Each structure stands twice: as structure tokens, then as C-alpha cells.
Amino acid sequence: MGRNLCPFLYHLRSPNSSLMMTETKDNIVDRDELQDAYINEIIDGMDIKDLMRIVYDNIEQNLDQYSVDELIEEVQEYYPHLLE
């Protein structure tokens, strides 16, 4: 994909970006509120394909941590027809 899906994905790809937030002595922003509002804006700006891509990537990253035996066990438990 040539475009960034959202700023969140940009940060995932570029953790050293100069756009990353840094803490200041004058913490005048409620971080939790700001983060919640930011997440909601990102999600609101996505279409279903963007959301599906994030879910797919997240599941893929989690399953990459499994051994082959663990993966087979997981598939067997939830979707055994895939092993037929």
C-alpha cells in the first residue's frame, strides 16, 4: 500500500519518528483522555478494509509466536475443518 492507513500505523513503522510525544514538566493534558480521543479519531477515519488489515496484522503477529504444534492445537480447537 502506498499510503499510510493512519498515523497510528505510521508510528508502528517508525518508532523513532520526531512526531512521537515526549513528556514535559507542564503536563497540562490528561494523557488518558487525549489518547482515547486520538484512538477514536483514528478509528472513525478508517474504512472496514483498514480495520480488517489491522486485525489481520495483529492476529498474524500473535500466531507468529506459536510453534507449529501450538498452531495446530489452536486450529484444531476452533476450526478443525482447516486440518482436513
Domain boundaries, the chain: 32-84
Dihedral through CA 61, CA 45, CA 12, CA 51, nearest 10?
A: 10
In tens, the pLDDT along 55-65 reads: 999 999 999 99
Determine phi and psi for 83, rounding to 5 degrees.
-95, 0
End-to-end CA distance of the chain: 34
Q: Give the global pTM.
A: 0.58
- Given a cut of 50, is residue 17 above it in pLDDT? no
Nearest to 3 by CA among 60, 49, 55: 49
